[in-house]
Chain A
């Protein structure tokens, strides 16, 4: 019995390991066709689901033999052929061979930009809330507001998205101009969404500062600002940075709050109030219809997102937060 229980718990623990490796392998193998087809060029190619002319009839004979080389050449050909794409398709539609290409630049840029906007917006406010909760507010107010913030962190993200689309975005669009669904509104709503989470964990970091340190500083005549700036921030700096990066990791992978607001079009944004798309939203909106190479390209995006967030979270957890302990 003892042995069985021990084996059982060991295998459950191993399951975590297997799952994580399994996610990597599954995503990689599902993305394999797209990786083989587009390689790393995928990351900098802004065209998604675009028909391009691969080879003209006259060229076909020589290129069939060395397909492999052709792939490499095709990348460079994209650029040249892009402009006269349409005419060629019209001219001799039956004779030209076209293929659909997928590039991940737009969703990757969209993901990074929405996250940056969200952090820029949420960071100062979250710091303010954390300082308020940890140092300024009286104990009972801090307790109640603290619980309220934690409860808000539990609200499903889809609700932030709906609120953002119908109530927040129209106001922002009135103030700034441009579209209601845009990089800006998506980023801001994402910022509002990570706000409670960021405030709560930053406050926890600040609370680790020993009371003795603070009291000694006050005894020396320091003002509250000086205590916060010179005692609390230096002491809990590493923990705070870790908390920020953790919130960043959460923002990177967020789907629903962004899905309502980003506009979901595969176009590079020219201005901050242009619509575009992010990796999670590209997956959420296109997975159902996609098949073949398109689906594989979505898995490629998923793999990229997974690697980015894996790196970001590991950095936060194992460098900053471990050090903070």
Chain B
């Protein structure tokens, strides 16, 4: 009897694992089939207005890149504070708040940036979109920096101090160097996460059919355009949305795998 229950339970567990994996495989297969059949290299050469995706891909990269430029230094220094300088309650509080912010609904961040940037500026802009993404990114970078720095042995810091180096020298030249790989991986994962975000961009950067490098106006965004295109009745728009989703997913997966590859090589 015990053995029978055991067998049934194990079978159920394997079955549910199978069901879950089947669903996820279904999504990936759909995405690759639909994406590949609509995919063409000319998509990289034309803008959305001409039926291509060039402006959207460039735009999304710029938004995510700019967000990283804002988010990484802020997140890293905050992480350094929590781990190296902060003592007691305040550092712990910041750590907790950052954890909460990491899971805050992304659409709420969008609404926040809409109220503090879009309304005063009088319209949507690439700048607002980048700020929204940066706010999404900061807590992730803090979390990574914090946990990676905590893995650096105390002795390394003490050795540095004993040699007469000042604390910030020790942090920059020794501690960060030692934790470099882990932090880089974390940053890559954070980048992969924000590049696929749609909700915070909907009413901050919006999207544009044209190529644009002007951050002061509505800015082309791949994800927002996928949402618009997928809801259009024409088959051709939807095909374009699938091609765009395919490119986005491949990009996200490559960044993720790169991150994992770096960490694994280190080990």
Option from B12, B105, B139, B192 in Cβ contact (under 8 Å) with A280? B105
A158-B13 in contact (CB<8A): no
Flag if B100 contacts A314 (CB, 8 Å): yes
CB-CB nearest in chain A for B167 = A2
Other than the given A26-B112, A317-B96, 16 more pairs (CB < 8 A) read: A10-B85, A12-B75, A20-B100, A23-B104, A132-B16, A132-B17, A154-B193, A159-B27, A159-B31, A162-B230, A163-B27, A223-B3, A255-B105, A283-B110, A313-B100, A317-B99
Say which residue of A1, A13, A156 sits within 8 Å of B223 (CB atoms): A156
- CB–CB A16/B23 < 8 A: no
Tell me if A155 and B135 are in contact (CB < 8 A). Answer: no
Beta-carbon contact of A151 and B253 below 8 Å: yes
Q: Is A58 interfacial (CB 8 A cutoff)?
A: no
User: Would you call B112 and A162 a contact (CB within 8 A)?
Assistant: no
What is the distance, in angstroms, from B142's C-beta to the closest C-beta of chain A? 7
Docked Cα-Cα span, A16 to B230, in Å, equals 36
Cβ-based interface call for B156 (8 A): no
Contact in complex: B74, A12 (CB < 8 Å): yes
B interface, by DSSP: helix, strand, loop or mixed?
helix
Interface of chain A residues 242 through 259 with chain B (CB within 8 A): 246, 249-250, 252-256, 259
B173 to chain A, nearest CB (A): 12
Residue from A2, A129, A224, A280 in contact with B199 in the complex, judged by beta carbons closer than 8 Å: A280
A44-52, A66-74, A212-220, A298-306 - the one binding chain B: A298-306
* Distance between Cα atoms of A160 and B28 in the complex (Å): 10
Task: For A158, list chain B residues within 8 Å (CB).
Answer: 196, 198, 223, 226-227, 245
Interface size on B, residues (CB 8 A): 89
List the interface of chain B (C-beta within 8 A of A). Answer: 2-3, 5-6, 9-10, 12-17, 19-21, 23-24, 26-28, 30-31, 73-75, 77-78, 80-82, 84-86, 90-91, 93-94, 96-101, 103-112, 114-116, 135, 138-139, 142, 166-168, 171, 189, 192-193, 196-199, 202-203, 223, 226-227, 230-231, 238, 241-242, 245, 248-249, 252-253, 256-257, 260
A125-B101 in contact (CB<8A): no
Q: Which of A13, A136, A161, A223 contacts B86 (CB 8 A)?
A: A13
In contact, B23 and A310 (Cβ under 8 angstroms)? no
- Do A256 and B227 form a contact, CB below 8 Å, given A5-B168, A16-B138, A280-B199? yes
- A1-13 near B? 1/0 per residue, CB < 8 Å: 1100110111011
- Judging by beta carbons under 8 Å apart, are A280 and B103 in contact? no
Q: Does A184 contact B (CB under 8 A)?
A: no
- Whether A284 pairs with B99 at a CB distance below 8 angstroms is no
Contact with B along A121-144 (1 / 0, CB 8 A): 000111111011100100000000
Check: A147 CB closer than 8 A to any chain B CB: yes
Rounded to whole Å, the gap between the CB of A13 and the closest CB of chain B is: 4
If A6-B168, A249-B103, A280-B107 touch, does A16 touch B193 (CB 8 Å cutoff)?
no
Contacts of A2 in B (CB 8 A): 166-168
Determine the distance from Cα of A16 to Cα of B231 in the docked complex, in whole angstroms.
36
